[in-house]
Amino acid sequence: MGYSPERKAAVLKRMLPPNTMAIRQLSQEEGISEATLHKWRAEARGKGQLLPDADAGPEGWSSRDKFAAVLETAALN
């Protein structure tokens, strides 16, 4: 099944902080398989987007996710 880029972007947005939603819960609510959501997250991470795991707070983020967060917020006051 193909999903529109708009739908994919909307679902990925629900994985973003501060309201990071677990893939299992998002899968149930959106009716999209967990495998597809994991694939979308991996693709977005490959493009440099910050999409940490919902179950891991900042203490559990990978070094890559922490660095991406620093880069995204560096220009903010």
Contact residues for 53 (Cβ-Cβ < 8 A; gap 6+): 20, 60, 61
Residues 6+ apart with CB under 8 A from 72: 50
Structure token digits, residue 21: 């939603």
Predicted TM-score (pTM) of this structure: 0.68
Beta-carbon contacts of 8 under 8 Å, excluding residues fewer than 6 positions away, are 40
Cβ 51 vs Cβ 12: under 8 Å: yes
Higher-confidence residue: 46 or 61?
46
The answer on pLDDT for 34 being more than 90 is yes
- When mean pLDDT is compared across 4-18, 27-41, 51-65, the lowest value belongs to 51-65
> What type of residue sits at position 54?
A
**Sequence spans of domains, the chain:** 5-73
